[in-house]
Amino acid sequence: MARKAQTPVTETATRTILGVLSGGERVVLEMVGRDLWLTIEGVQIARRGRLGSKGVKTWIPVHRRWLVRDTDGPLGIQIMHNGVEVEWTSRLTPNHDI
């Protein structure tokens, strides 16, 4: 008896806008299934390490030129592109529309 083809499970993403880069690009957290991603204008640049993995509680870069690190600062993360820190503004900053 032939096996029935399995239909892939479609996972919906939950998105939270964190802020914007100095050029206007949106910085977004996406939860897809059990994975947490940091995206900029829809491009996934880093994935948060899961419990039980080698990179637990760290940002694992998935896009070659980007690096994301946790900080103790008010924005909570540092975003770097090609080795240069990218300026971004939190959406929680007063008088700032997204």
Distance between CA 71 and CA 17 in Å, rounded?
A: 18
89 has a pLDDT exceeding 80? yes
6 has a pLDDT exceeding 50? yes
pLDDT tens across 45-77, in order? 999 988 777 777 899 999 889 999 998 877 789
**Which residues sit opposite 90 in a β-bridge?**
19
pLDDT tens across 18-53, in order? 999 989 999 999 998 888 999 999 999 999 988 777
| Mean pLDDT score of the chain | 83
Q: Which 3 state secondary structure label does DSSP give 88?
A: strand
Structure tokens belonging to residue 16: 């939270």
CB 22 within 8 A of CB 31: no
